[in-house]
């Protein structure tokens, strides 16, 4: 896969991981770049990243790759574009990248539906105690029918609060409304006109936390939202409240969440994101029956990951060739 610079030299691209075949096919078919790749499904080691990126004109990375000044220095002045196979970009040193005039591509929108579906699945699994039920069947705990055994909480007639009614938050709201929820509350920086579609009520965060039966966090990670879900946050929730996070792990203070769950301050929690990732197997949260933890699989459908792979490749090629990038991050 060879692309010539104006001087006739080959342009180099470094991929920090194996990517979906849809993306590799696009890079191969384009016939415009020389690709080197960390040929593994596991994250590239830091030393290998610094070595692999040397002299690269393009870099295709993942959310788990910290792209900071050290990586940019290692790449050198040739680096024109960074394409990340993710919608999030808090792993990128944006200020440093901007300073150097490097283009950035990312993969928004394409994972919205898959992430919203997974979030609703996690909400239902947590509220209705599905993992506990599966475990009881396997370990012989299922005996006779008992009136209150494995009872949970239903969405019908409930109040659902969505923190961050952006693309994914709105997609979640659309999916919970057919469960005949009574009220849909949302909070964020501004009220959204499109919230009318789901009869969304824009309220202060404190109101959302205290009045919601189910709280879904789908906001971006910012200095304001980092650590937002802490002891004070959980103390305002209902004792029957169900908390779900599919945004970023660092939005939640996990020690405070553990205390809220183990003390009965809140009913249960479902997490698709944690700090760190992967969560150590001896983490206190994993000892709790009322905490459901998934391994960050919000976008994990075959079609979605394929589209993400294709889009990341198209962004990379656009940045290299000076043509349109389908999803360029604007600073």
Q: Catalogue the active-site residues.
A: 296
Contacts of residue 259, Cβ cutoff 8 Å, sequence gap at least 6 = 231, 234, 265
Q: Give me 229's structure tokens.
A: 């879900």
Whose CA is closest to 186, among 210, 171, 174, 169?
169
Q: How far is CA 277 from the centre of its chain?
A: 12
- 54, two tokens: 């040397």
CA dihedral 295, 299, 302, 308 (to 10 degrees): -130
Q: What are the φ/ψ torsions at residue 8 (nearest 5 degrees)?
A: 90, 5
End-to-end CA distance of the chain: 30
Tokens read off for 165? 């009614």
Residue 233 CB partners (closer than 8 Å, separation 6+): 209, 256
Written in H, E and C, the secondary structure of 60-107 is: EECCCCCECHHHHHHHCCCCCEEEECCCCCCCECHHHHHHCCCEEECC
* Cis peptide preceding 276, ω within 30 of 0: yes
Name the residue among 231, 298, 306 with its Cα closest to residue 270.
Answer: 298
Spell out the alpha helix ranges (H) of 112-192. Answer: 112-127, 130-139, 167-176
How far is 119 from 153, CA to CA, in rounded Å? 16
DSSP β-bridge partners for residue 15: 37, 60
């Amino acid at each position: 896969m060879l692309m010539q610079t104006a001087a006739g030299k080959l342009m180099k691209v470094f991929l920090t991981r194996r990517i979906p075949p849809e993306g590799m096919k696009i890079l191969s078919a384009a016939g415009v770049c020389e690709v080197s790749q960390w040929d593994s499904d596991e994250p590239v080691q830091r030393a290998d990243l610094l070595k692999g990126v040397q002299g690269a004109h393009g870099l295709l990375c993942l959310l788990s790759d910290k792209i900071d000044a050290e990586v940019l220095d290692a790449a050198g002045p040739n680096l024109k574009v960074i394409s990340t196979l993710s919608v999030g970009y808090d792993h990128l040193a944006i200020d440093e990248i901007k300073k150097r005039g490097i283009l950035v591509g990312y993969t928004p929108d394409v994972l919205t539906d898959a992430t919203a579906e997974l979030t609703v699945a996690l909400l239902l699994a947590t509220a209705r105690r599905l993992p506990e039920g599966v475990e009881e069947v396997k370990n012989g705990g299922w005996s006779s029918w008992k009136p209150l055994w494995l009872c949970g909480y239903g969405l019908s007639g409930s109040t659902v609060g969505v923190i961050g009614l952006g693309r994914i938050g709105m997609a979640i709201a659309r999916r919970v409304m057919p469960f005949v929820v009574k009220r849909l509350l949302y909070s964020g920086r501004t009220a959204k006109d499109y919230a009318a579609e789901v009869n969304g009520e824009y309220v202060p965060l404190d109101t959302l936390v205290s009045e919601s039966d189910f709280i879904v966090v789908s906001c971006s990670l910012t200095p304001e939202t980092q650590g937002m879900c802490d002891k004070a946050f959980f103390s305002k929730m209902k004792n029957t409240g169900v908390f779900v996070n599919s945004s970023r792990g660092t939005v939640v203070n996990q020690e405070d969440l553990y205390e809220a769950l183990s003390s009965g301050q809140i009913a249960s929690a479902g997490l698709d994101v944690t700090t760190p990732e992967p969560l150590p197997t001896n983490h206190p949260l994993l000892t709790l029956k009322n905490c459901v933890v998934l391994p960050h699989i919000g976008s994990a459908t075959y079609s979605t990951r394929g589209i993400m792979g294709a889009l990341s490749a198209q962004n990379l090629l656009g940045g290299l060739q000076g043509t349109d990038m389908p999803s360029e991050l604007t600073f």
